[in-house]
Structure 1
Amino acid sequence: MKFKLEKLPLYLAYLVAFALGMKQMREPDIWWQILSGQWMLEHGAITRADMFSYTMQGTPWTNVKWLYEIFIAGLVNMLGPHGLVLLQAIVNVVIVLLIGKTAKFIARYFGKEARYSAIAIVALAFLAIVEYRMASRPEMFSHLFCALYLYLFWKNPDLKWRGLIWLVPLQCLWANMHEGYPVGVVMIGVFAAGSFLSYLLSKEKDALQQAMRVSITLVASILVILLNPNTIVLWKQPFEIYRQVWANKYTTELYSWSQAEYWTIQAKAHIGLLVLALVYWGVQIAGIIKSKRINPVLAGYLLLVPAMGYLSLTANRNIPFAQIVLFPSIVLLLTDVAGRLAKGNAEKQTRNAAIAVSLIAAIFYISIVNNSYYKATDSVNRFGAHVNMLHNPTGASAFIKDNKLQGPAFSDYFISSYLLWDLYPQFKSYIDLRDLDIFPASFFDNYMELHEHPEKFYSLDSQYNFNYVVVSTGQLVGMQRLLYWGKGYNLVYVDPVSAVFLKTNEVNRSVNENLSIQRLFTWPQEPDEPGWATAITKLMNPMNEYEEEDERYTSIQSAMFYNQVQNYPLAVKLLKQDLGSFDGEALGYSTLSSIYKDFAEHTPDATQKARRLDTAAMYSQMALEAE
């Protein structure tokens, strides 16, 4: 009974890891990656040139993730897109399992025993810091390989061949799964450097032999990267990635520590733990060096901590790699602190610690599955194996498909991915999330100018002769306003996620004149969910509901859209006629207050302006009273 109680915190940490993987599908990258894998399965060939956009058709494409994309395409064929959510949840658990075992290995090296409660509490902190990258993205495999490499080195502290040899095929697999594969080479290289450092300190023959074995493994791991469809290109790819990091001004995940956007709450917590680990090892290292004998794996690990710390400063998305490496250090630090503070009955203290950490883990789990954790951290993520219809253009895609709209279509950066997956080859993108792998920086710059100069759309239209425009309602708002009020395009579909503007030409006359299919605003239909996904979600939280997707929010969402295109009378009308549905709720009143404020700002008549500001103040007060 005692043994089970002691392990309970760790089991609950695994459950938390699984729950954090069960995020609603909202990452737009997912969809083009599935499509790419499906294309390769269907054609029995690797994607080597762009075939998904019409602007860069035929551009050479070094698709590093080709094997990952084939893998997830097969998974989706069996389980549907929701299978990626399950995959992420499982990978999360395996990562925590591996780094927890690694922490035990390191503690035992120092003659200590890392308690399950210590591993569990550090695991909970680790998960809270890195969960923002645990979103069914391909980098999950880079995180997994990073944890596995660290585990394999500490499981094999004598660096024998039977342990090292596994790194070579793993490096080959990693290089064909995700562009994070250089991290593996760096890890092996750092452990090789640590082995030579160990030899320089000890002058022992065994240390030299160990250093040579790791060095040979390093060379083999570099050579084996060539076993991929892109061959020697992957040797150059790390430099290309480095170039893209500096050139890519469009993706927030690439912000470095020198930019304000880097400093999220997770980044601040990460830096705090990094400093703690560096200080801890700074205190310990004097004694280690004084002994003139240091295990090669420990030497490598001591070099790896600052190396990964530096990597995490270069881009926000690299924080999970550093956290994986830091995990055992924080467990060891906590073990030392607990040992110094321990007094009295050790068995009772172990039991109390297990109960306390289990309680924390249980609260964390509940806060995840009821979404209070995500709301408290201002995250857009929500719990559930579910395709979020407020983050994916399911409605616009169905409209384009049902009405057989033909391209070329202007599509924004974010919306294209889902449309490619659902409509290709009927739909090809203008720009999409394959970023600088396909689209040059100059093309991105021209696209980004549309945010400040929406009128430049017309020069693009004259160049590409768009037949329709499909955009996220939250993107290129100025351009949407221009198309809504200007001539040449007709708003034929809009929902909370996307808007479709159809060119007014002879080809589109039947759709443009068919008022029966055009509504002021549409609420997208609920997507079909596989039974297994619903079952797991309900098992983890029987009360789970996708409340934000409730159709009763139609009037609020429609009013917000027409407010942003500056049709204020219509925005007011749509919300007022349904305000009774939100009687006593702050959301309806606060939205109406915001609309009247915007309406007033664009009212030239002073009397009317004052009246509308008074109305805005009235609804603002009603919102405050309703809160």
Structure 2
Amino acid sequence: MSIDVATIHQAKASSFGRVPAWSWLGTGVYVVLLVNGSGLLNDSDTFWQIAVGQWILDHGALPRVDVYSFSKFGEPWISSSWLAQILYAVSYNLAGWTGPVVVAAGSIAATFGLLAHILERRMRASYAALVALAAMVLSAPHFLARPHVLAMPVTVAWAHGLMTASERRQAPSFWLLPLIALWANLHGGFVFGLVLAGAFAIDAVWNAAPLQRKPLALRWVAFGLAALLACCFTPYGWESILASRKILDLGELLRLISEWAPADFSRISPFELTILALIAGTLYRGVTLSPPRIALVLGLLHMALSHGRNLEIFALLLPIVVLTPVSRQFALQPTWSGRMTLASAAVLAVTLSISTWAVAAYQAHSPPKSDSPAAAVEAIKAHNLRRVLNDRAFGGYLIWRQMPVFIDGRAELYGEKFTMAYYNALELKDVSRFLSLLKDHDIDALLLRPGAPAASLLDHVGVWRRVYADDVAVLYVRGGS
């Protein structure tokens, strides 16, 4: 009898007690993000992302011109994140604000669970979890219910596929192509995936035997052309690639958009500490990389330093780029941390389902009131105002409320010249230009944040009258309104 009992306990342990560490990491990340879900809604762009997705569902078509603003109405504009926007809109329709939170949290959890799984194959599970958690800390400021987080697991899987092919001195499998096609329909950052393919191609050719380099290079070129073609498998075709370039052509404007601003080291940050730790570790242990890997590491670092938006790319891909050289150099040995059996997968699925239901039932998620000037919008409707010059951060909410905006977060639509003129005017760098802006666009109201320089001026200009104010927004209308 004791032998039978022991056998049963051993069977249970092998079925349930040896779940892979990466799956527990992903589950933990999901639960933490779900509990703190309102933080994922802490961006006004989420409003218009869902609104665009709903427009696509309602019209059975994709936008090709702007229909949300009065300043750029009818001008060409496409939504390269259309698939992500539909997913957010559908999830919102099903579960309110909890829906987008669940979708974003699930994608983020899958990203870091996948990263830990990749790392576990070359090092101890505890080390892999530690590196994945460090990458998560660096990426955390960009954990938002927006399209880019849905592309994160695709980015990791794509990079790992390229790295594996490079280290085997082979061209990547064409089965990778659906990944970049999916990426192209989720987020405009897919163009970086093409750059990454070129970088790993150079790495593969560099490390190949001399006689193998030419045929290997040709196979990588063929894969690269196929990947470029796969990126055109979107409703917009080639236009998706062209649209993605517009963000990088915004020039000076990128410095004013916080997520695209360069790194700021005036205060200690996790990013600075990470760079210092990497430098110290390299100097102390003498890490050696091949020239192509060095170039790739420096390229990722340059991207992160140039634009804060690229910090999660640096955090997610750096461990993959250096994984094999570092694990070989320091003889890191993976430890078997369990395997995903059908029983363990069922346990995790039940755990995630219960967690999701519990949070949805007992915790209400919602965007911050600072980006939701609900009362001010009611005042706008009461005064029947149409041409309202709004604070850029309010643009998403106004679109959500089906009101025409002057400007919103779609920087590629408005462009550098228009948006810089808007910023300079509202900052009163030139008062005459501010007044000209109001006249040229026939503005009949302004919706601003309290304390904005332009608001202080309007309080002393007789033609404008403050008709509503709270701690979120102030509304001015022409004196005769």
Q: TM-score range by the shorter chain?
A: 0.7 to 0.9
Which structure 2 residue ranges, 5 or more long, are not aligned? 1-12, 338-362
Alignment partner of 1:230 out of 236, 242, 260: 236
1:449 counterpart = 2:425: yes
- Are the equivalent residues in 2 in contact too, given 1:305–1:326 (CA < 8 A)? yes
Secondary structure at the counterpart of residue 438 of structure 1:
helix
Secondary structure at the counterpart of residue 244 of structure 1:
coil
Cα distance in 2 for residues equivalent to 1:155 and 1:16: 26
Alignment partner of 2:177 out of 163, 168, 173: 168
Q: Give the CA deviation at 1:421.
A: 0.8
Q: Give the CA deviation at 1:180.
A: 0.6
- Which of these two proteins has the greater Rg computed from alpha carbons? 1
1:216 counterpart = 2:216: no
Classify 1:182/1:276 alpha carbon distance in 2 versus 1 (closer, same or farther; 3 Å).
farther
Classify 1:502/1:246 alpha carbon distance in 2 versus 1 (closer, same or farther; 3 Å).
closer
Cα distance in 2 for residues equivalent to 1:312 and 1:239: 18
Classify 1:170/1:280 alpha carbon distance in 2 versus 1 (closer, same or farther; 3 Å).
farther
Q: Deviations over 1:46-79 (max 9, x none)?
A: 2111121111112211432223223322222222
Classify 1:151/1:14 alpha carbon distance in 2 versus 1 (closer, same or farther; 3 Å).
farther
1:195 counterpart = 2:204: yes
Classify 1:399/1:498 alpha carbon distance in 2 versus 1 (closer, same or farther; 3 Å).
same
Would you say how many aligned residue pairs link Structure 1 and Structure 2? 436
Q: Give the CA deviation at 1:504.
A: 3.1
The aligned residue for residue 489 of structure 1 is 464
Amino acid at match of 1:102: I
Higher relative contact order (CA 8 A, sep 6+): 2
1:418 counterpart = 2:427: no
Secondary structure at the counterpart of residue 440 of structure 2:
helix
- Are the equivalent residues in 1 in contact too, given 2:43–2:367 (CA < 8 A)? no
Classify 1:302/1:23 alpha carbon distance in 2 versus 1 (closer, same or farther; 3 Å).
farther
Alignment partner of 1:269 out of 265, 268, 273: 273
Q: Deviations over 1:237-266 (max 9, x none)?
A: 454333225553421222235x667x7613
- Are the equivalent residues in 1 in contact too, given 2:293–2:321 (CA < 8 A)? no
Q: Give the CA deviation at 1:39.
A: 1.7
Classify 1:208/1:274 alpha carbon distance in 2 versus 1 (closer, same or farther; 3 Å).
farther
Map 1:476-515 onto structure 2 (within 5 A).
Answer: 477-505=452-480, 508=481
The aligned residue for residue 86 of structure 2 is 70
Q: Give the CA deviation at 1:279.
A: 5.7
Q: Give the CA deviation at 1:231.
A: 3.0
- Are the equivalent residues in 1 in contact too, given 2:65–2:73 (CA < 8 A)? yes
- Are the equivalent residues in 2 in contact too, given 1:158–1:210 (CA < 8 A)? no
Cα distance in 2 for residues equivalent to 1:90 and 1:412: 32
Q: Deviations over 1:191-224 (max 9, x none)?
A: 222221122xx2465x766554433221100122
Amino acid at match of 2:145: S
Cα distance in 2 for residues equivalent to 1:140 and 1:211: 33
1:473 counterpart = 2:477: no
Secondary structure at the counterpart of residue 493 of structure 1:
strand
The aligned residue for residue 370 of structure 2 is 390
Cα distance in 2 for residues equivalent to 1:274 and 1:64: 35
Cα distance in 2 for residues equivalent to 1:175 and 1:498: 37
Cα distance in 1 for residues equivalent to 2:280 and 2:23: 23
Which structure 1 residue ranges, 5 or more long, are not aligned? 108-113, 290-298, 351-382, 509-627
Q: Deviations over 1:395-420 (max 9, x none)?
A: 3234434x263211121111121011
Work out the percentage of aligned pairs sharing the same amino acid: 22
- Are the equivalent residues in 2 in contact too, given 1:414–1:472 (CA < 8 A)? no
Classify 1:134/1:72 alpha carbon distance in 2 versus 1 (closer, same or farther; 3 Å).
same
Secondary structure at the counterpart of residue 459 of structure 2:
helix
Cα distance in 2 for residues equivalent to 1:264 and 1:251: 21
Q: Deviations over 1:511-553 (max 9, x none)?
A: xxxxxxxxxxxxxxxxxxxxxxxxxxxxxxxxxxxxxxxxxxx
Classify 1:42/1:159 alpha carbon distance in 2 versus 1 (closer, same or farther; 3 Å).
farther
- Are the equivalent residues in 2 in contact too, given 1:59–1:438 (CA < 8 A)? no
Cα distance in 2 for residues equivalent to 1:277 and 1:284: 12
Secondary structure at the counterpart of residue 318 of structure 2:
helix
